[in-house]
Structure 1
Amino acid sequence: MKILVIGPSWVGDMMMSQSLYRTLKAEYPDADIDVMAPDWCRPLLARMPEVSEAVVMPLGHGSLALGERYRLGKQLRAKRYDRAYILPNSFKSALVPFFAGIPVRTGWKGEMRYGLLTDLRILDKTAFPLMVERYVALAYDKARIACAADLPQPLLWPALQVRDEEIAEITAAFNLTDNRPTIGFCPGAEFGPAKRWPHYHYAGLAQRLIDDGYQIALFGSQKDHAAGEEILALLTEEAREHCLNLAGQTNLDQAVVLIASCHAIVTNDSGLMHVAAALNKPLVALYGPSSPDFTPPLSHQAKVIRLITGYHKVRKGDAAEGYHQSLIDIQPSLVMDALTELLPEDYPR
């Protein structure tokens, strides 16, 4: 069987979609599973053993480009896919499999996709409260799965593969020493400051961890580099020697390997949080207005800290820096306590 998946366009969603690929491979062991996604997704898909090929989606997130989607679909006809799974809920995301003539096209109804999908699912959000459950449910006949409780347990959570040789090479290239255990911080958030734990709290936690014998690595995109510099600026001069701001200094694949090298991760609700969970790293995940009730870190080694309940749709936080009060209220001591519970007893205290 040949399967095409139209994948998501965000890091966190792409990570959670691996649960579908793992489930499909368990259901159809001989299947070839290709995933169409933006080119930046290649490093993640390359570390998912269930994926045979990453097929590049060259169009931007908001572009309809009907003619280009027709051309892409026509090109894919030669691959003779048997099934397609369309994970985004947009109308345009279902066009390429339709133009490719894939006979079975499965997805949630979304934006008026009657005719584009042959296996149309009507989503009851209360029946499938987690995004990962909505992805995995598509792998099964809809008559079999009416709610999340019907899904075979345990769910196959995301699991990226990184080799020890890669870790040794990349950590040496970025001057991460092996004489101190490394704690990774992911202080950025694509959403903006309202989903970020304040830089001064990160700095307070970093200072304490460095004083205890750890080194800190800061991860993120180029947009997060300034936040890393703000954290560094609040450390003592001696402590700065043990804190590396790698935000914007690595590509995504290097960041995955470096996160795999860490002994634990502290992070906002972000795409890199889901990467760390898929690497099975001890993880403290800090939530504010966004809710872990929909997209929690999928790991038994994760501790979620959130001081409010419900979902709060905000674009800007209460503080001058744009931070949300619910994240300001999470003190470094609370995060340190959670981190201490996750780390082995023979680590520095």
Structure 2
Amino acid sequence: MLIRLPNWLGDALMSSPVYENLKDQEELILFGPASFINLFEDFPNCRILPFYSKDSKKNLQNLQNLKVYKKERGLLLTNSFSSAWLFFRAGLKERMGFSTDARGLLLTKKVPPPPKRMHQRDKYLYLLEKLGYSASKRDLILYLREEKINQAKSFLKGLGINPHQNKMVLLAPGAAFGPAKKWPVEYYKSLAENIIKKGIKVLIVGGSKEIQDGDFICHGLKDAINLCGKTEITILAGIFTLSMALISNDSGLMHLGAALKIPQIAIFGSTDPILTGPLNPKAIVIKKDLPCSPCFKRECPKGHYECLKNVSPEEVFQRLEEILI
């Protein structure tokens, strides 16, 4: 079966129970964005196939790559017309997914979206069940070979960090959705200062878009290191497993921490943890229930961002101390 993974890292991780339920029944081809598909290469009985976007030549390559799998069933975890159109053009014999974005005619098995709002993980499993497959396994999961963890150890040693001797806490200040999901970077810096006073190193993690935030947090702090944009995704996953805790916004890296079951604190602003919260028994969610929250907007409609500003660095540090104890 060929599975089209969601376009966002967090969604791809929240759909990991789908792969976990299917992998024992048949071999899977996980077809997802080239930016993070390698993260799933250790899943048993699975192969990965990169999806390339925003480039006409690459789009043609996507089509040519898929034509090899004409005899396969295709499962779409995306909701877009374009993803169903690609499966249709490639000639996959079965094309399964939600009947969203006017793509019903392109699907051989279509499922109406669920009638009520639910956690994104549950939405993926709802689709799986409606298609007649078992959805008994519901935990987020990410397989990571020991080799990847050893590569992460070597990477850290190159920075002068011995993960067996140095305690580390990760801060992930990014959120691709927009500023209404981003706890103020000044608060992250204050938090980093308090963590370092405890003799713990702070690593700032994220993509290239978070480099500037990482530089701001690390400025003047001896034991803070900005790794934003400097780590391949599988190395980053290995670093997660070697760290004491992750503190993040509602983001893809939040779900990476959840899938790896590391202690974590997730700070929510404009979004709702009932729908996208970290599915991790070691997770703590901090959210302020204001009359205007959750608004699900990229930017604060009122311009004050109080849902985020009302979460103080001292409160987050206190919850972190509970984890560390």
TM-score by length of 1: 0.83
Contact 2:52 2:58 in 1 (8 A): no
Q: Which residue of structure 1 aligns with residue 155 of structure 2?
A: 170
Give yes or no for the alignment of 1:45 onto 2:40: yes
CA distance in 2, matches of 1:74, 1:167: 35
Residue number among 264, 272, 296 corresponding to 1:313 in the alignment? 296
Give yes or no for the alignment of 1:138 onto 2:117: no
Matches within 5 A, 1:289-328: 289-308=270-289, 310-317=293-300, 324-328=305-309
Letter in 2 for 1:54: I
Contact 2:152 2:235 in 1 (8 A): no
TM-score by length of 2: 0.88
CA distance in 2, matches of 1:159, 1:298: 13
Give yes or no for the alignment of 1:159 onto 2:142: yes
Contact 2:3 2:77 in 1 (8 A): yes
CA 1:118–1:166 in 2, change beyond 3 Å: closer, same or farther? same
Equivalenced residues, count: 320
Contact 2:16 2:141 in 1 (8 A): yes
Q: Give the match's secondary structure for 2:15.
A: helix
CA distance in 2, matches of 1:289, 1:44: 28
Q: Give the match's secondary structure for 1:339.
A: helix
Question: What displacement does 1:71 show?
Answer: 7.4
Letter in 2 for 1:89: N
Matches within 5 A, 1:226-237: 226-233=212-219, 237=220
Give yes or no for the alignment of 1:224 onto 2:205: no
Question: What displacement does 1:259 show?
Answer: 2.0
Give yes or no for the alignment of 1:248 onto 2:246: no
Residue number among 48, 51, 55 corresponding to 1:57 in the alignment? 51
Q: Which residue of structure 2 aligns with residue 148 of structure 1?
A: none
Q: Give the match's secondary structure for 2:273.
A: coil
Q: After the TM superposition, which of the residue ranges 12-21 and 310-319 deviates more from structure 2?
A: 310-319
Q: After the TM superposition, which of the residue ranges 216-225 and 242-251 deviates more from structure 2?
A: 242-251
Structure 2 residue runs without a partner (length 5+): none
Structure 1 residue runs without a partner (length 5+): 146-150
Contact 1:69 1:96 in 2 (8 A): no
CA distance in 2, matches of 1:68, 1:252: 21
CA distance in 1, matches of 2:62, 2:196: 51
CA 1:223–1:74 in 2, change beyond 3 Å: closer, same or farther? closer
Residue number among 159, 167, 178 corresponding to 1:192 in the alignment? 178
CA distance in 1, matches of 2:314, 2:81: 47
Question: What displacement does 1:143 show?
Answer: 6.7
CA distance in 1, matches of 2:98, 2:280: 26
Contact 1:187 1:220 in 2 (8 A): yes
CA 1:87–1:180 in 2, change beyond 3 Å: closer, same or farther? same
Question: What displacement does 1:95 show?
Answer: 1.7
Q: After the TM superposition, which of the residue ranges 97-106 and 330-339 deviates more from structure 2?
A: 97-106
CA distance in 2, matches of 1:174, 1:46: 26
Give yes or no for the alignment of 1:93 onto 2:88: no
Question: What displacement does 1:315 show?
Answer: 2.9
Give yes or no for the alignment of 1:33 onto 2:18: no
Question: What displacement does 1:202 show?
Answer: 1.2
CA distance in 1, matches of 2:177, 2:304: 12
Q: Give the match's secondary structure for 1:190.
A: coil
Q: Give the match's secondary structure for 2:248.
A: strand
Contact 1:85 1:138 in 2 (8 A): no
Q: What RMSD over aligned residues (CA atoms) do the two structures have, in Å?
A: 2.6
CA distance in 2, matches of 1:22, 1:305: 29
CA distance in 2, matches of 1:251, 1:162: 15
Residue number among 6, 9, 19 corresponding to 1:8 in the alignment? 6
Q: Give the match's secondary structure for 1:216.
A: strand
Residue number among 213, 238, 245 corresponding to 1:264 in the alignment? 245
Q: Give the match's secondary structure for 1:313.
A: coil
Question: What displacement does 1:268 show?
Answer: 0.7
Question: What displacement does 1:68 show?
Answer: 8.0
CA distance in 2, matches of 1:70, 1:243: 43
Give yes or no for the alignment of 1:76 onto 2:66: yes
Letter in 2 for 1:58: Y
CA distance in 2, matches of 1:303, 1:229: 26
CA 1:57–1:297 in 2, change beyond 3 Å: closer, same or farther? same
Letter in 2 for 1:131: Q
Question: 1:25-61 CA distances to partner (integer Å, 9 max, x unpaired)?
Answer: 24x1xx11012222112321224335x222222232x
Residue number among 23, 26, 30 corresponding to 2:21 in the alignment? 23
Letter in 2 for 1:82: E
Letter in 2 for 1:205: L
Q: Give the match's secondary structure for 1:176.
A: coil
